[in-house]
Structure 1
Amino acid sequence: MHELGKQRAFELGNPFYARFKEDGEYWRKEMPNGDKYLVEVEVIIDEFDMPVQIKDTMIKKLDR
């Protein structure tokens, strides 16, 4: 499932976010060009509790 989600995000030109135990409270953000970052994520929701935007703050760039 993980790889299908990543493939679809990249097809749409979007970054892919994933959580890994070794990253603690942070998320990994992978860009379609292969760049990877450790980020803090905030999900903005609308009045119907539907996600409408993801805001991320870069903590550090990771090796490819």
Structure 2
Amino acid sequence: MKQAGHEVNFTPVEEVAAHVVDGIRADRFWMLPASEHSDRQIRARSRSMLDRANPAYLESFILD
């Protein structure tokens, strides 16, 4: 991705672990951090599935 001109930022492992622990303690099934970007991806995927359409939405999120 970096060669394509897109910086990739990874969440530190400790932050992911803390999020998972919080989710387990709260008895949450979905452990998704708040993120408008992720929310858009989830909406696009579910809309595509419900429409029984090919996943054309992927192209707009790959380099997003």
- In the superposition, the TM-score normalised over structure 2's length comes to 0.28
Q: Rg bigger for which structure?
A: 2
More strand by share: 1
Relative contact order, CA 8 A, sep 6+: which one is greater? 1
